[in-house]
Chains A and B, each alone.
Chain A
Amino acid sequence: MYLKKECIAMLLAGGQGSRLYDLTKHTAKPAVSFGGKYRIIDFPLSNCINSGIDTVGVLTQYQPLALNEYIGNGAPWDLDRNRGGLSVLPPYQGNQHSDWYKGTANAIYQNLQFIKKYDPEYVLILSGDHIYTMDYSAMLKAHKKKGAACTVATIKVPLEEASRFGICNADSDGRIYEFEEKPKVPKNDQASMGIYIFNTDVLIRYLEEDENDPDSSNDFGKNILPNLLKNGEPLYTYSFSGYWKDVGTIKSLWEANMDLLGSTPAFNLHQRKYRIFSRNTARAPQLIGTGAKIENSLISEGCVINGSVYGSVLSGGVYVEEGAEIYNSVIMADVHVAAGAKIYYSIIDSDCFIGENVTVGAPDSKDDIKIIAKGTKLTNDSEEN
């Protein structure tokens, strides 16, 4: 069957996200909830459909149950198509090799058959760890214009943080002459966003070479990009300016949620240009009771608020009793906060019960975000306080 596409996306969603601790104990990082009604993976998927990319392979590995269920057939992102659309690509048993995905490059390598089926000119590699809106079609345009073999999206980061990222050293035309993965002494502040566009033939060639190299750690940043440079392939940066946040740590996940608040938020969800699609559930509208006080917060459907909520993000179905107080926190779906409970600087995972007069976190604990694992019941008698 004729399935040719110009550009398809491969979304690496298998990461464990171990620095999110309890939040990713039973869930892959891309399925972690964010911004009230979203999951992290909604952002790259929505970007794809907003950029006209209708064929997306989602590579899953770690704890995929919640993720698979959430993604389904891709319908929420309009990716349920007869030709293309969304495909979940878990590791599989082959007739010669059967392996888990050993690294980002190996994960794509194991799915070259999927890519070849669509015979695309370009392959977009994405990860499911970031909150941002971006038009990939503009990046593809730049890629074609430069005649690049590979384009790496970059963003300016504070120089003191640059050693956490892959840093692209490029000339004034954007051609990369050096790529350093997490350098101790970064030479500039242009960090790789982990978004690459490859010419398909180049990608296939280098992935196959990489696979035959027993010393490789099968990683795009550590192996593939340096190998391309070594062989003099034209690698270019595509510099992106806009909101982009890695949500790989508790602190950064909390910060990204806080970035949604206020009358001029750092990241505005109420914009129309790049709509964020997500799987919507049929919940009742939110009911705001008599004693409610809500300021500077984001509240989702199905919530019943009778207490006080300040500077917080609440997912669907959260019940806040009268007299309960929530400050600067992220409360995930179906949490019940009983009267007299106080929550400061915390991320409460879904289905928790915060009992009467229980205090979670402290008014001055901004630098120590408290995590309450999914389904935890906290009462004043329980030890966890």
Chain B
Amino acid sequence: MSSAAIIFSNLNTNTLSRLTADRTVAAIPFACRYRLIDFALSNMVNANISNINVVVNYNYRSLLDHIGSGKDWDLARRAGGINCISPYQMASSGSAKVYSTHMEALRNMTAYIDDMKEDYVVLSDCHCIANIDLKAAIADHAANGATITFVTTECAEGYTSKNPVLMFGTDGEGVVRDAVISAKHQDNAPELSTGIQIMSCDYLRRLLIEAEAHNYRSLTYDVIMKNASNGCYRTFKHNGYFAHISSFTDYFKNSLDLTTNRGAFYSLLGIPERRIFTRVHNSAPVSYLSGSSVANSLIADDCVIEGRVENSILFRGVKIGRGTVVKNSILFGGTTVGRDCELNCVVTDKSVTISDFCRLSGHESLPFYIGKKRRV
């Protein structure tokens, strides 16, 4: 039983405007040292999947930079490994539109799918953060013979999302009875799609031939919604940590949740047999100087801390000056905060410099964002 995988790096970009101004969704930094794609990739690698195709469409340079040869995920292979699929534009096609849906992207890469030697294929988006036992999900799919198995999670009562997502109602045995597309909790469909679905390679190939014949544009609308009540789909429920990043506020809330919610932290990052891999840098351990005081925070390598940090996430190489207080903030890699500053509910993008004595504050519901390389 072997599986290949396809990761869609950028198909949910519109609602994350600031963070995706110059990166794909997959390349959004998260939890100190990761990028969103690391969760999808690690889930796959931990399920022994070693043929992974990453579909990219726009501004994917930082993603390519992050993935490199794939070595950090053990995916630099002669056979298989990781492979980025960029839009295939013919010189003659002029300004033809680049694919914007899963179905369009899949139809654009039929040659790769035809070549897959594996039994199953896992399709995954990048906007969901979870440490999922995909091995069990694939085994469940293989054992039950569903057409598609969707990896889902319990949808909380008050759940809302900036953009509508797939939700399922099942018969209690995992067979899908209902599917809805909604931006908030639905009583008849209490399972939320994690953006991961499993099917056989043969089925995907047949599906793409059918899609070509009927000119399907959307996997969700033209296929899934039409067949949802046929009893041919199943769900596999993931019970651990799950975060769906549909907006900047989602991002902020879910990030900071990791600093106080120990259960969330361990269920995402503390499972010894399912580690989350990421690109490694050769950076020094964190230096805590005298006068530093840190509580409820996640700190990445190469930071130098002289001030106070509370409920915050510091990415690599962040410097916090003497007398500075940072609360409820997320500082991306290379941010330098001078001395005697006060930061509250601030998100700085990469390599931001904040001079001495600055006071910056946003609000939990509206964090203050500072763009890449800006100086304050």
Query: Which A residues fall within an 8 A CB radius of B?
Result: 35-37, 75-76, 261-263, 265, 269-270, 275-278, 280, 282-301, 309, 313-314
- Between A269, A287, A300, the greatest number of chain B beta carbons within 10 A of the residue's beta carbon is seen for A287
4 tightest A-B CB contacts, nearest first: A285-B32, A269-B284, A280-B280, A36-B285
Q: Which of A275, A286, A292 contacts B286 (CB 8 A)?
A: A286
Residues A280 and B71 in contact, CB atoms below 8 Å apart = no
Chain A residues, CB < 8 A from B299: 285-286, 288, 299
CA distance A265 to B304 in the complex (A): 12
Q: State whether B270 touches A284 (Cβ < 8 A).
A: yes
B147 interface residue per 8 A CB criterion:
no
Instruction: List 15 A-B residue pairs with CB atoms under 8 Å apart, sorted by A's residue number.
Output: A263-B306, A269-B285, A270-B287, A277-B282, A283-B275, A284-B269, A284-B276, A285-B32, A285-B300, A287-B297, A295-B290, A297-B287, A299-B299, A301-B301, A309-B288
Q: Are B33 and A285 in contact (CB under 8 A)?
A: yes
Q: Which chain B residues in 32-76 approach chain A with CB under 8 Å? A: 32-33, 71-72
CB pair B304 A270 closer than 8 Å: yes
Q: Counting CB contacts under 8 A, is B245 at the interface?
A: no
A188 to B288, CA, bound (A): 39
Number of chain B residues whose Cβ lies closer than 8 Å to a Cβ of chain A: 37
- The reply to whether B301 and A290 contact each other, CB–CB distance below 8 Å, is no
Report the minimum CB–CB distance from A307 to chain B (whole Å): 12
Known: A282-B277, A295-B290. A37 touches B285 (CB 8 A): yes
A/B pair count, beta carbons within 8 Å: 104
Cβ B292 vs Cβ A287 within 8 A:
no
Closest A residue by C-beta to B282: A277
How far is B281's CA from A280's CA once the two chains are assembled, in angstroms? 8
Report the bound CA distance from A290 to B262 in whole Å: 11
The distance in angstroms between the C-alpha atoms of A35 and B282, with both chains bound, is 13
A282 CA to B41 CA, complexed, in Å: 13
A177 to B32, CA, bound (A): 56
Q: A280-B280, A297-B288, A298-B286 are in contact. Are A285 and B295 (CB under 8 A)?
A: no
Select one of B72, B269, B289, B296 contacting A285, CB under 8 A: B269
Point out the residues of chain A lying under 8 angstroms from B265, CB to CB: 284, 287
Complexed CA–CA distance, A301 and B302 (Å): 10
Contact status of A295 and B289, CB under 8 A, knowing A270-B284, A284-B276: yes
A296 close to B302 (CB less than 8 A): no
* Beta-carbon contact of B269 and A299 below 8 Å: no
A309 and chain B: residue at smallest CB distance: B288
Contact of B298 with A by CB under 8 A: yes
Is B19 at the interface (CB under 8 A from chain A)?
Answer: no
B271 to chain A, nearest CB (A): 10
Identify the interface centre among B269, B284, B289, B296: most chain A CB within 10 Å of its CB.
B284
Given contacts A37-B284, A284-B269, A297-B287, 12 further A-B contacts (CB under 8 A): A37-B285, A263-B290, A269-B287, A270-B284, A270-B302, A284-B276, A287-B297, A288-B296, A294-B294, A295-B291, A300-B286, A309-B288
Assembly CA distance A298 to B157 (angstroms):
43
Cα of A270 to Cα of B288 in the assembled complex, Å:
12
Provide the main secondary structure of the chain B interface.
loop
B346 within 8 A of A: no
Q: How far is the CA of A284 from the CA of B272 in the complex (A)?
A: 10
Which residue of chain B is the closest to A279 with respect to CB atoms? Answer: B280
Choose among B31, B275, B282 the residue that contacts A280 (Cβ–Cβ < 8 A).
Answer: B282
Asked if B285 contacts A298 (CB within 8 A), the reply is yes
Does any Cβ of A come within 8 Å of B89's Cβ?
no
Q: Which residues of chain A have C-beta atoms less than 8 A from B275's C-beta? A: 282-283
B188 CB–A CB distance under 8 Å: no
Q: Which of B290, B293, B309 has the most CB atoms of chain A within a 10 A radius of its CB? A: B290
What residues of chain A lie closer than 8 Å to B72, measured between beta carbons?
Answer: 282
- Per a CB cutoff under 8 Å, which of B71, B285, B292 touches A300? B285
Chain B residue numbers with a CB within 8 Å of A291 are 295
Expressed in whole angstroms, the minimum distance between the Cβ of A311 and any Cβ of chain B is: 9
Chain B min CB distance to A175 (Å): 39
- Closest Cβ neighbor of B302 among chain A residues: A270
B246 at the interface (CB under 8 A from A): no
Residue with the greatest number of chain A CB neighbours at <10 A, chosen from B265, B287, B291: B287
Given A285-B32, A288-B296, A288-B297: A299 and B288 within 8 A (CB)?
A: yes
Q: Which residues of A contact B297 (CB under 8 A)?
A: 287-288
- Nearest B residue to A288 by beta-carbon distance? B294
Across-interface contacts of A277 in B (CB, < 8 A): 282
Distance in angstroms from B284 CB to nearest chain A CB is: 4
Whole-angstrom distance between the Cβ of A289 and the nearest chain B Cβ: 7
Question: With an 8 A cutoff between CB atoms, is B278 at the interface?
Answer: yes
Which residues on the A side are within 8 Å of B294 (C-beta)? 288, 292, 294
* B285 touching A299, Cβ below 8 Å: yes
Would you give the 0/1 interface string for B243-275, flagging 1 where the beta carbon is closer than 8 Å to chain A?
A: 000000000000000000000010001100001
Q: How far is the CB of A319 from chain B (nearest CB, A)?
A: 11
CB-contact partner of A290 in B292, B296, B309, under 8 A: B296
B296–chain A nearest beta-carbon distance, Å: 6
- For the complex formed, measure the closest distance between the CB of B322 and the CB atoms of chain A, giving whole angstroms: 9
* Chain B hits for A314, CB < 8 A: 285
A290 to B31 Cα, complex, angstroms: 18
Q: Which of B284, B293, B306 contacts A293 (CB 8 A)?
A: B293
Interfacial residues of chain B within 308-325, with CB under 8 A of chain A in the complex: 309
* Closest-CB distance, B321 to chain A (whole angstroms): 11
Complex contact A289–B296 (CB within 8 A): yes
Contacts of A75 in B (CB 8 A): 71
| Most chain A beta-carbon neighbours within 10 Å: one of B33, B277, B309 | B33
Q: Once the chains bind, are B282 and A275 in contact (CB under 8 Å)?
A: yes
Bound CA–CA A300/B309 (angstroms): 17
Cα–Cα, bound, A76→B285 (Å): 17
Q: Are A35 and B285 in contact (CB under 8 A)?
A: yes
Residue of B nearest to A282 (CB): B277
Assuming the contacts A288-B294, A288-B297, asked whether A294 and B288 have C-beta atoms less than 8 A apart, the reply is: yes
With a CB–CB cut-off of 8 A, which chain B residues contact A270? 284, 287, 302, 304
Instruction: Kindly state the separation between the CA atoms of A289 and B304 in the bound complex, as whole angstroms.
Output: 18
Measured CA separation A233–B306 after assembly (Å): 54
CA distance A283 to B302 in the complex (A): 14
Q: How far is the CB of A305 from chain B (nearest CB, A)?
A: 8
Of A275, A285, A293, A294, the residue contacting B31 (CB under 8 A) is: A285
Give chain B residues whose Cβ lies under 8 Å from the Cβ of A294: 288, 292-294
Chain A: CB-nearest residue to B280: A280
Interface contact B284-A276, CB-CB below 8 Å: yes
Task: Give the CA-CA distance A146 to B297 in the complex, in Å.
Answer: 55
Instruction: Give the distance to chain A from B80, nearest Cβ to Cβ, in Å.
Output: 19
Asked if A295 contacts B288 (CB within 8 A), the reply is yes
Residues of A within 8 A of B286 (CB): 286, 298-300
